[in-house]
Amino acid sequence: MSLLPATASSSDDAATALAVGALAATLAAVAHETLGHGIGCVGIGGQITLLTSIWFRCSKWSGIVDAGGPLGNLAAGLVAFALLGYKRPRATVRLFLLMFGSLNLFVFTGQLALESVTSNRDDWYSTALQMEWPAAWRAIGAIIGIGGYLLVRRLATLVVRKQAGPHPHAIRLAYAGAAASAVIAGLIWQPEPFRSAAQGFLAVGIAPLGLLDVARRASRDQRDGTGSNAVPRSWIWISVCAAVYVVFLLVQARGLGSMAGSRLSP
C-alpha cells in the first residue's frame, strides 16, 4: 500500500483552480436558467418574468419551460465531456471541462433523483404535472437519476485516470470555488438573499458532491502533482473568470424581469 506525498499537488495554482471552478459554476447556471428555461419560455411565446442565478419564472406555465433547465444542463455536460474525449487539452482547460461537464451532469441527475422521491415542486415535478405523466414517473425518474449520477461519477473518474489529471487538489479547489461562487451569487438577489444562497449551495455545493469522490479516487492513482498535468498560474484565466463572474453578478444575479423586486411564494 502506497501513500501520497504530503505535497503531492502543491504545484497546482490555487487562485487559478478557484477561478476555474467559479467560471464553471457560473456557466452551468447560465446553461440551466438562461438558456434552458429561457429558450423554453421564449419558444412557447412567453415572457421571462424572473431570471436570477437560481430562480426562473415565465409568464406561461409549460412542461417545456420546466424541463428546459435540466435539459440545458444535460446538453452542456455532454458537450464538455465530448470535448474532453476528443483530444487531450492543456491542464487548465482540462480542469475547466471536467468541472463544467461534471457540475452540469451531477445537477441534472441529482435533481432528477431528488425530485422523484420527494414532494419538491420544482422542474421535474412541474414537468410531470403539465405533461400528465403517470405516477410511475417517480420510480423511473429515481432509477435514472441515481443510476445516472453513479455513471457520471464513473465517467469523470475514468477521464481523470486516462488523462492523468486534473490532480485531486485542483479538483477540490475548483469545487470549493464553484460552491462559494453560487452562494455569493444567491446573496446578490435582494428580495430573498439567504433563500437564494441556500438554493445555490444545494445546487452547486451538495448536488455535485460526487466530484469529491472523483478527487479521492484520483488521489489513489496519482503520486506526483508536478509537471505538465499541474494547473499553472494563469492571469488570463483568472482575469477572464473574474470578468465573466462580475458581469453575471451585476446582471443576472441581481435579477431580471418584472418579478425581480418581489419575493417568491413559499
Secondary structure string (H, E, C) spanning 103-153: HHHHHHHHHHHHHHHCCCCCHHHHHHHHCCCCCCHHHHHHHHHHHHHHHHH
Q: Is 18 helix (H, G, I), strand (E, B) or coil?
A: helix
Cell numbers for 188:
446578490
Q: Is residue 54 part of a domain?
A: no
User: Quick one: which of 236, 180, 210, 212 has its CA closest to 53?
Assistant: 180
Q: What tens-digit pLDDT sequence spans the chain (266 residues)?
A: 334 444 444 589 999 999 999 999 999 999 999 999 999 999 999 999 999 999 999 999 889 999 999 999 999 999 999 999 887 789 999 999 999 999 999 999 999 999 999 876 789 999 999 999 999 999 999 999 999 999 999 999 999 988 888 999 999 999 999 999 999 999 999 999 999 999 999 999 999 999 999 999 887 666 544 445 899 999 999 999 999 999 999 999 999 999 999 999 86
Q: Is residue 205 part of a domain?
A: yes
Q: What is the pLDDT of residue 203?
A: 95
User: Quick one: which of 262, 246, 241 has its CA closest to 189?
Assistant: 262
Q: Is 171 helix (H, G, I), strand (E, B) or coil?
A: helix
Q: Is residue 65 part of a domain?
A: no
Q: Is residue 2 part of a domain?
A: no
Q: What angle do CA 180, 20, 7 make, to 5 degrees?
A: 90
User: Quick one: which of 205, 265, 188, 258 has its CA closest to 48?
Assistant: 258
Return all residues near 245 (Cβ < 8 A) that are at least 6 apart: 22, 23, 26, 181
Angstrom distances, CA of residue 48 to CA of 51, 71, 177, 264: 7, 18, 29, 15
Q: What is the pLDDT of residue 208?
A: 95
Q: What is the pLDDT of residue 227?
A: 45
Q: Distance (Å, rounded) from C-alpha 38 to C-alpha 51?
A: 8
Domain of residue 209 covers 14-35+73-118+132-247
User: Quick one: which of 70, 63, 73 has its CA closest to 43?
Assistant: 63
Q: What is the dihedral of CA 129, 64, 38, 152, to 10 degrees?
A: 90
User: Quick one: which of 170, 190, 206, 221 has its CA closest to 21?
Assistant: 170
Q: Is residue 253 part of a domain?
A: no
Angstrom distances, CA of residue 156 to CA of 206, 208, 236, 244: 17, 12, 26, 25
pTM for the structure as a whole: 0.92
Q: What is the pLDDT of residue 223?
A: 54
- Total count of domains within the chain: 1
Q: What is the pLDDT of residue 163?
A: 85
Q: Is residue 228 part of a domain?
A: yes
DSSP character string of 66-105: HHHHHHHHHHHHHHHHHHHHHS---HHHHHHHHHHHHHHH
